[in-house]
Amino acid sequence: MRRVLAVQLARFGDLAQSKRLLLSMAGGAETEVHLCLDRSLIPLARLLYPFAVAHGLPAHRGDGRPEGVFTFCRESFAALRELDFSEVYFLNFSPMTFTCAALFDPEQCRGYARARGQDLRSGQASLAFNFMRDRRFSPVNLADLWAFFHPDPVAPEKVNPIAHPAGTGCVGIIPAGRQARRSLPPQVLAACVQSVFRALGGPRLLCLGAEEDRAAARRLKRELPMRIAEKLEDLTGKTSLTDLPDILRGLDMLLTPDTGVMHLAAHLGTPLQAFFLSSAWCFETGPYGMGHRVWQAAEACSPCLESAPCPRNVACLSPFSHPAFLAHLAGKFSPYWPEGLLGCVSALDDFGATCKVVDGGNPYADAARELRAGLAEHFGLPGAGASGMGPRNAGFLFREKDWMLPENWKHA
Interface residue list for another protein (CB under 8 A)? 57-59, 61, 64, 66-71, 73-74, 77-78, 81, 94-96, 99-100, 102-105, 116-117
CB-nearer residue toward another protein: 57 or 375: 57
Pair 177, 263: CB distance under 8 Å = no
Alpha helices in 241-344 (DSSP H): 244-249, 260-268, 282-285, 323-329
Answer left, alpha or beta for residue 234, where phi above 0 means left and psi between -120 and 50 means alpha.
beta
Residue 96 CB, nearest approach to another protein (Å): 5
Report DSSP state, residue 128.
H
Pair 111, 412: CB distance under 8 Å = yes
CB-nearer residue toward another protein: 242 or 408: 408
Rg (CA), the chain: 22
Extended beta strands in 76-231, E state: 87-90, 109-110, 112-115, 118-121, 170-173, 204-207
Angle between helices 123-131 and 365-379 (to 10 degrees): 170
CB-nearer residue toward another protein: 74 or 410: 74
CB-nearer residue toward another protein: 83 or 327: 83
Residue 389 CB, nearest approach to another protein (Å): 30
Residue 367 CB, nearest approach to another protein (Å): 32
Residue 155 CB, nearest approach to another protein (Å): 36
CB-nearer residue toward another protein: 38 or 299: 38
CB-nearer residue toward another protein: 42 or 78: 78
Distant-in-sequence, close-in-space partners of 366: CB < 8 Å, separation ≥ 6: none
**b or e along 171-208 (b: 16 or more beta carbons within 10 Å of the residue's beta carbon)?**
bbbbbbbbeebbbbbbebbbbbbbbbbbbbeebebbbb
Residue 102 CB, nearest approach to another protein (Å): 4
- Single out the residue of 124, 58, 60 nearest to residue 90, CA to CA: 124
Residue 131 CB, nearest approach to another protein (Å): 24
Residue 82 CB, nearest approach to another protein (Å): 10
CB-nearer residue toward another protein: 4 or 36: 36
**Cα torsion 74, 99, 55, 52: sign:** negative
Residue 74 CB, nearest approach to another protein (Å): 4
CB-nearer residue toward another protein: 35 or 59: 59
Element (H, E) at 279: none
- Single out the residue of 337, 336, 341, 345 nearest to residue 318, CA to CA: 341
Pair 371, 397: CB distance under 8 Å = yes
Residue 173 CB, nearest approach to another protein (Å): 31
CB-nearer residue toward another protein: 104 or 398: 104
Pair 254, 272: CB distance under 8 Å = yes
Alpha helices in 269-364 (DSSP H): 282-285, 323-329
